Structure 1
Amino acid sequence: MLAGVSLHVAILLATADATERGFDVVVPRDTVVGTPREYGEQVLRNTLAMLARLTTVDALVAGWTERGAA
Structure 2
Amino acid sequence: MVSADGSASWRAGLPIHPPAAVKIGKAVFYAQAQMSLDEAYVGEVMAWDAEAGIGAFIAKSEMQEWTGK
How does the TM-score come out when normalised to structure 1? 0.27
Flag the structure with larger Rg.
Answer: 2
TM-score by length of 2: 0.28
Which has the higher relative contact order, 1 or 2, with Cα contacts under 8 A spaced 6 or more apart? 1
